[in-house]
Amino acid sequence: MPLVSTKEMLRKAYEGGYAIGAFNVNNMEIVQGITEAAKELNAPLILQVSAGARKYANHTYLTKLVEAAVIETGLPIALHLDHGADFEICKSCIDGGFTSVMIDGSHHDYEDNVALTKKVVEYAHAHGVTVEGELGQLAGIEDDVNVSAEDANFTKPEQVEDFVTRTGVDSLAIAIGTSHGAYKFKPGQKPQLRFDILDEVARRLPGFPIVLHGASSVVPEFVEMINKYGGQMPDAIGIPEEMLREAARNAVCKINIDSDLRLAMTAAVREHFALHPDHFDPRQYLAPARDAIKAMVAHKIKNVLGCDGKA
Ligand code: G3H
Ligand code: 13P
Ligand code: ZN
């Protein structure tokens, strides 16, 4: 099976009351850890690449790694551009074999976001590629853009029908209180999401797939391990998994996870060097890092996304 677009998998996820995991990939061990877990659980996957990942690992290397994962697993896998900032990067990814792109016009004013998103949709659809748009702005860090919690804007439900109709997007990312990175709430602050906004968006867009960014749970086990072995992340806090499970049962069909992969990998490498300070063969510490990613993704598929057995 070749790479697939997100169209069918998101439609089935909506109907089935589960979500597809969209995991960020930056190197071979990350691709392998994620896809080995998905294969064992027969789960569909979205592997996504940010502009930073393309800069780090190179477009062709990442594309070929994901194509290798399709050959190895036989799973339906979509290769998706995460947070495309302009038409040019979307076009470059579409021309270069991606099957899905996000155009993130959320930092533009509404009319400019509509115009930019529509332009990407026209090009993408002509090439059989699906498009995710965004309304509202998350707090946190993506590439070099750092949006503070005060500057984040929740999605305005009254805009969503107009946006989806005028742009023709296939899915919509919304801001309901999730944020990028490992510090999603202030220390002592109770994690909360605006489910009222999600419900209103879902009511206005029946059958339409919604996307949640910034959806790592910042798994405490990994944070504790990082801190135990010399790391300094005492205030890291994420989205409680039961909130994500609830969102996945409703209109949320794509859940973006990157920080949890980073934490799993970093925790495993820190532990490895604490236990084996004499090791210097990269395979010795990257193998447990890959295993940690695999275990974390398996846990998400079964307990958060609910997409096991859905490939
Ligand atoms: O939303 C951002 C993702 O976590 C990607 O992060 O831009 O550092 O690759 P990155
Ligand atoms: P996290 O930082 O919560 O993993 O979010 C990742 C994301 O939204 C990628 O687009
Ligand atoms: Zn994101």
Report d(CA 103, CA 155) in Å as an integer: 16
**The domain over range 7-305 is classified in CATH as 3.40.710.10:** no
- CA distances to 101, 138, 198, 215, 254 from 250, in Å: 23, 20, 9, 15, 11
How far away, in angstroms, is 201 Cα from ligand 3 center?
19
> Does the active-site annotation cover 196?
no
**pLDDT above 90 for 235:** yes
Q: In the beta sheet, which residues pair with residue 211? A: 173, 254
- CA distances to 148, 177, 272, 309 from 119, in Å: 29, 28, 48, 36
pLDDT digits (tens, 9 = 90+) for 118-147: 999 999 999 999 999 999 998 766 655 566
Whether residue 180 has its Cβ less than 6 Å from ligand 2? yes
Other beta carbons within 10 angstroms of residue 279's beta carbon come to 12
Q: Is the dihedral of CA 279, 282, 287, 293 positive or negative?
A: positive
Mean pLDDT of the chain: 96
Atom of ligand 1 nearest to the CA of 259: 4
Report d(CA 23, CA 77) in Å as an integer: 11
Share of the chain above pLDDT 70, in %: 96
Q: Is the dihedral of CA 246, 307, 6, 30 positive or negative?
A: positive
pLDDT recorded at residue 3:
97
Atom of ligand 2 nearest to the CA of 184: 3
